[in-house]
Copies of this chain bind each other. A is one copy, B any other.
């Protein structure tokens, strides 16, 4: 009895989270009101506040649950002895795109709305994002140790994230090209491209540039 109650409480929280993510993704965090969220979830606004303290709490939970899954994914690949270090980047790209395909609303909220969170909650999420970026940067450094030595592996990781995260702005999930079928293209492009990057002579102003 008490068990069933707790069960449905957590279930209801999850339903609300999904509904809110869908609305925040479509209209933006500030563009979706708590009344909108409540209506989409089939309950009153007052009931909504029974499950989440305030609007920020809703946003923080959506973003943190998603980025925590991504960070967990990075750690599981790093800790998987059956994956050779040289294969990690390849596996990471594929697994991330698969994860993205199932979490489009949450990912959009993570990339567009975290800036509206108060500093403490925002910082907690940025910390998890750093874990993810560092995981990719490290895997890139395995492929190109010279890039890591030049301090460019994180920048290159961000270029890769650009390709992945920008997909939300142009890709139709039900098209011929979706988050899963595009994975080979991204891997082909990025892996081959990684070999083409020349280390520029940055931060050495005395050296004249040759053309």
Residues A156 and B185 in contact, CB atoms below 8 Å apart: yes
A198: B residues at CB distance < 8 A: 184, 188
- Is A38 at the interface (CB under 8 A from chain B)? no
A198 to B164, CA, bound (A): 18
Copies of this chain, whole number: 2
A163 B170 Cβ-Cβ under 8 A? no
Taking a contact as CB atoms under 8 Å apart, the answer to whether A193 and B202 are in contact is no
A189 CB contacts on chain B under 8 angstroms: 156, 159, 190, 193-194, 196-197
CA distance A164 to B158 in the complex (A): 10
Interface size class of A (residues with CB under 8 A): 35 or more
User: Is A85 in contact with chain B by the CB < 8 A criterion?
Assistant: no
Shortest Cβ gap from A167 to chain B (Å): 7
Please, how many angstroms separate the alpha-carbon atoms of A177 and B147 in the complex?
Answer: 14
Q: Quick check: A185 and B152 within 8 Å, CB to CB? A: yes
A166 CB within 8 Å of chain B: yes
A165 to B31, CA, bound (A): 23
Give every chain B residue within 8 A of A192 (Cβ-Cβ): 192-193, 195-197
Show 19 A/B contacts (Cβ-Cβ < 8 Å), sorted by A. A28-B30, A30-B30, A155-B182, A158-B166, A158-B171, A159-B186, A159-B189, A162-B162, A162-B164, A162-B167, A165-B166, A166-B166, A176-B202, A185-B197, A188-B193, A189-B194, A191-B193, A192-B193, A193-B194
